[in-house]
Amino acid sequence: MGEWSAPGTPDRIAVRGIRAHAHHGVYDFERERGQMFRVDAVLELDTSAAAAGDDLDRTVNYADLAQQLHRVLTGDPVNLLETLAQQLADVCLANELVDAVEITVHKPEAELGVPFDDVTVSIRRQRR
């Protein structure tokens, strides 16, 4: 293998479309009956050490990450998608290898009173 340096743009690991029936929302009917939510997480990190050593311990195990995000998604209900997105970002940034994360929360079954495809809230958080 050759000697490589990390590129100017960060490496990314993405887990998209984690789905769960959950009870987030402001309205009582949302809390009572729940609805489907989806989450996309795009992590920014340097994967060169993991690649050089073919070592899972030097990167993010995306199977473990998906399980952690699913637990938050199905956990205690919150009113706002913004709050849920922040909780999900916090999980990702708890891994010291992750420099930044973009979280998108989808709420495709929201009741808007008009036809629509999806409602999303996306946030990007990075280490200070």
Which residues make Cβ contacts (< 8 Å) with residue 77, sequence separation at least 6?
A: 22, 23, 24, 25, 31
Which residues make Cβ contacts (< 8 Å) with residue 38, sequence separation at least 6?
A: 17, 18, 19, 105, 106, 108
Which residues are known to be catalytic?
107
Taking the C-alpha atoms of residue 99 and residue 46, their distance in angstroms, rounded to an integer, is 8
